Amino acid sequence: AQKVTQAQTEISVVEKEDVTLDCVYETRDTTYYLFWYKQPPSGELVFLIRRNSFDEQNEISGRYSWNFQKSTSSFNFTITASQVVDSAVYFCALRNIIQGAQKLVFGQGTRLTINP
């Protein structure tokens, strides 16, 4: 069975601080995808990043960076110099690569509040 755990339910920091959101996953599949989504108060899930299980290169996009470590089954997300607009609920998700079975398994989410 697949499972995603986001142990941090809520995080609150002051603007300009760096913050890391943790994600740990379980799967018996050898190939899979990992995702991060952002859910602002409007409710729509906004795609941030997708990684393949065979590509462990870390990625940076502006103030966002992702650390994928297969050895520890973790896919952590760091926001550098946080801004108030980063306030949202963030979800980590897992999906296998088998054709046809495409459901996303989500973690419980981490509510991030950036205070001015």
Partner 1 sequence: EAGVAQSPRYKIIEKRQSVAFWCNPISGHATLYWYQQILGQGPKLLIQFQNNGVVDDSQLPKDRFSAERLKGVDSTLKIQPAKLEDSAVYLCASSRGVQQYFGPGTRLTVL
Which residues would be at the binding site for partner 1 (CB under 8 A)? 4, 33, 37, 42-45, 47, 50, 91, 93, 95, 100-104, 106-109
**Minimum distance from residue 81 beta carbon to partner 1 (Å):** 27
**Minimum distance from residue 23 beta carbon to partner 1 (Å):** 11
DSSP 8-state code for residue 17: -
Place of tokens 């502006």: 62
Is the Cβ of residue 83 or residue 102 nearer to partner 1 in the bound state? 102
**Minimum distance from residue 64 beta carbon to partner 1 (Å):** 17
Q: CA 63, 59, 34, 108: dihedral to nearest 10 degrees?
A: -30
Q: What angle do CA 105, 30, 96 make, to 5 degrees?
A: 30
